[in-house]
Every structure is written in C-alpha cells, then in structure tokens.
C-alpha cells in the first residue's frame, strides 16, 4: 500500500504544507514556512501582542531561578508573555487551533507523540539578543519541536538585525544559516538537535511567538 492510501484510510486528507514541513524536518531538521498564517492573521496576532505589551503583561524572560540580572541579560534580553490556554482571545485561539492542526497531523502521520504545547509572545527591544543555545538546556527533554512565528512589520530587513541563526551540523563541519524574522514566516526545528541564537536587534523591536511541541 502506498502512503497515500494509508493516510486516506486513516481519514486524513493530505495537507501539502504539513507534508512539506515533515519532509524538511526529516531531511534537514528544520523547516521554514512563509505563509503558515495569512497577512490578516499575522496582523491580528501582531496587534494582540502589542496590546498585551502595552498593558504591561510581559516580564523579562527567566533562565533559571535566582539568576543574577547581569548574567541573565548577557544570555537573553527578551520580554515574554506566556499564552495561557484558559484566557485566550481570538488571536490566541486562532494561533493555537492552527498549531493543533499541525500537531494532529504530525501525530497521525509520523507518530510523533506530541502531547503538549506551550507558547509565549516575545519582544526583543533594540540591543537585545539570545546567545547560542539548545532549547533543552533546562533538561526538559520533552521538548521535541521548537516553533517560532515572526510578527514584525513587512519592512524588517538586515538593518534591523535580529536574525535567527541556525547552526547545522554537516559531517565534521557546521553550516550557519541566518533567517530574517519576516512577518508570517515560521521556523520549526528539532529542539534537541539544532543549536541557534538570536542576533542583536539593531533597530526597532523584534516581535514573535515562540513555543514548543512536547511529548508527555
């Protein structure tokens, strides 16, 4: 039986976008998707992030407990707001339901066993960054996939900085891939495999939603 027949039997329509993500992940450990959310949806997510930021719902990101501020800001300088499943508005519901479609698809077609999701908004003010790291640094080996969705305005460019840099193991060497945080762009990568960093923001504020798909 071909895979097509199998997915049809499982009552699952083939989703070309999700199929491409799966293919990318299996070949290169990351996937870059340009239109996971359409421009209207990006605008809604962006304005909701900004409203919550204005309401001062954001905190400086923690790294570990009792971390001294100088050390913290030398590692990461973003402000975050965790999306609570219980108090979501239209933007968060839209975001999470689309993410859930992806999770359901991954579980049905690749048996990934994703059982949990966690997401936060992030704002990186000018001058901030996040040094090279692996997303499992807190020994949370339930994190399987990291997902970042950018909500900057369409004029963001290399003068703004804030690239996501992925370090890709290639045989004995390492390849470096810089990705500009363009609006609507989503990057998905294997949390336990790919080290990455956020380059310093040189101009403006860098806006995103970041999260993890986790096993139980």
Ligand X SMILES: O=C(O)CCC(=O)C(=O)O
Q: Which residues bind ligand X (CB under 6 A)?
A: 122, 130, 135, 148, 164, 196, 198, 208, 210
Buried b (16+ CB within 10 A) or exposed e, 62-82: ebeeeeeeeeebebbbbbbbe
CB-nearer residue toward ligand X: 22 or 198: 198
Question: Quick check: 135 binds Fe ion (CB under 5 A)?
Answer: yes
Minimum CB separation of residue 3 from Fe ion in Å reads 32
| Residue 86, both tokens | 């219980």
Minimum CB separation of residue 137 from ligand X in Å reads 9
With CB under 5 to 8 Å by kind, the binding choice for 99 among Fe ion, ligand X, none is: none
Minimum CB separation of residue 208 from ligand X in Å reads 5
CB-nearer residue toward Fe ion: 9 or 139: 139
Residues touching Fe ion: how many (CB under 5 A)? 1
CB-nearer residue toward ligand X: 45 or 122: 122
Question: Quick check: 78 binds Fe ion (CB under 5 A)?
Answer: no
CB-nearer residue toward Fe ion: 74 or 89: 74
With CB under 5 to 8 Å by kind, the binding choice for 128 among ligand X, Fe ion, none is: none
Burial of 34 (0-12, 13-18, 19+ CB in 10 A): exposed
Residue nearest to ligand X (CB): 164
């Amino acid at each position: 039986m071909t895979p097509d027949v199998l997915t049809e039997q499982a009552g699952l329509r083939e989703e070309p976008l999700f199929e491409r993500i799966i293919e990318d992940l299996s070949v290169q450990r990351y996937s870059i998707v340009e239109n996971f959310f359409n421009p209207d949806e990006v605008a809604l997510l962006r304005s909701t992030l900004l409203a919550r930021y204005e309401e001062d719902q954001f905190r400086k990101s923690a790294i570990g407990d009792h971390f001294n501020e100088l050390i913290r800001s030398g590692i990461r300088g973003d402000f975050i707001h965790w999306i609570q499943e219980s108090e979501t508005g239209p933007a968060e519901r839209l975001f999470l339901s689309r993410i859930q479609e992806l999770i359901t698809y991954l579980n049905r077609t690749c048996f990934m066993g994703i059982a949990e999701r966690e997401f936060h908004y992030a704002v990186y003010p000018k001058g901030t960054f996040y040094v090279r790291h692996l997303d499992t640094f807190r020994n949370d080996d339930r994190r399987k996939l990291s997902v970042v969705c950018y909500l900057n305005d369409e004029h963001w460019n290399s003068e703004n900085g804030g690239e996501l840099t992925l370090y890709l193991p290639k045989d004995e060497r390492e390849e470096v891939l810089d990705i500009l945080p363009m609006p609507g762009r989503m990057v998905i990568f294997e949390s336990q495999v790919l080290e990455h960093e956020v380059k310093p923001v040189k101009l403006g504020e860098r806006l995103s939603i970041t999260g993890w798909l986790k096993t139980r």
